[in-house]
């Protein structure tokens, strides 16, 4: 069984992600700056912000529907690999779904673009 690269809710997109790619951007989140008794300024790292974006092309309609349904929540649990496996709760994602082509009357494909942000992953306050 292949390792999870991207799983949104219960929808495992790892196989699609290997073909299409996913971008994971992580940045530190700092608390307020403070000055020590020696006069040196410090900022404490509270955690990290994680942004994930991906484009999935030529997705069969049944899989496209599963992806879109998994994204329609205010908070979305996402498992991703960066290269270590992480799990985080993301704010409601932005996504775009565009009809790609119809192979036949019963077979349609979609292009799905996803962008999501986890504002603070880690210890927090």
Bigger pLDDT: 109 vs 21: 109
Q: How confident is the model at residue 122 (pLDDT cuts 50, 70, 90)?
A: low
As a whole number of angstroms, the distance between CA 116 and CA 51 comes to: 6
Overall domain count for the chain: 1
Give the residue-averaged pLDDT of 117-122. 78
Domain assignment present for 67? yes
As a whole number of angstroms, the distance between CA 92 and CA 59 comes to: 21
Contact in structure between 114 and 54 (CB atoms under 8 Å): yes
As a whole number of angstroms, the distance between CA 80 and CA 30 comes to: 23
Cα torsion for 55, 60, 61, 67, to the nearest 10°?
A: -40
Domain assignment present for 32? yes
Asked if pLDDT for residue 7 goes beyond 90, the answer is yes
Domain assignment present for 83? yes
| pLDDT at residue 2, rounded to an integer | 60
Q: What is the pLDDT of residues 90-118, one digit of tens each?
A: 999 999 999 988 888 888 999 999 999 99
Q: Which two tokens stand for residue 54?
A: 């991906």
Collapsing DSSP to helix, strand or coil, 33 comes out as coil
Domain assignment present for 1? no
Q: What is the pLDDT of residues 51-89, one digit of tens each?
A: 999 999 999 999 999 999 999 989 999 999 988 899 999
> Residue 27 is part of which domain span?
6-121
Asked if pLDDT for residue 125 goes beyond 70, the answer is no
Identify the burial level of 20 via C-beta atoms within 10 angstroms of its C-beta, where 0-12 means exposed, 13-18 middle and 19 or more buried. middle
| pLDDT at residue 49, rounded to an integer | 92
Give the residue-averaged pLDDT of 13-35. 86
Domain assignment present for 44? yes
Q: How confident is the model at residue 35 (pLDDT cuts 50, 70, 90)?
A: confident
């Amino acid at each position: 069984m292949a390792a999870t690269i991207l799983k949104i809710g219960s929808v495992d997109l790892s196989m699609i992600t290997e073909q299409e790619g996913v971008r994971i951007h992580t940045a530190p989140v700092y608390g307020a700056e403070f000055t020590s008794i020696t006069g040196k300024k410090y900022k404490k790292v509270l955690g990290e912000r994680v942004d994930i974006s991906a484009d999935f092309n030529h997705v069969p309609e049944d899989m496209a529907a599963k992806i879109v349904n998994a994204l329609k929540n205010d908070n979305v649990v996402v498992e991703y690999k960066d290269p270590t496996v992480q799990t985080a709760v993301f704010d409601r994602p932005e996504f775009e779904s565009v009809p790609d082509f119809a192979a036949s009357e019963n077979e349609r494909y979609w292009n799905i673009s996803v962008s999501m942000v986890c504002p603070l992953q880690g210890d927090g306050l």
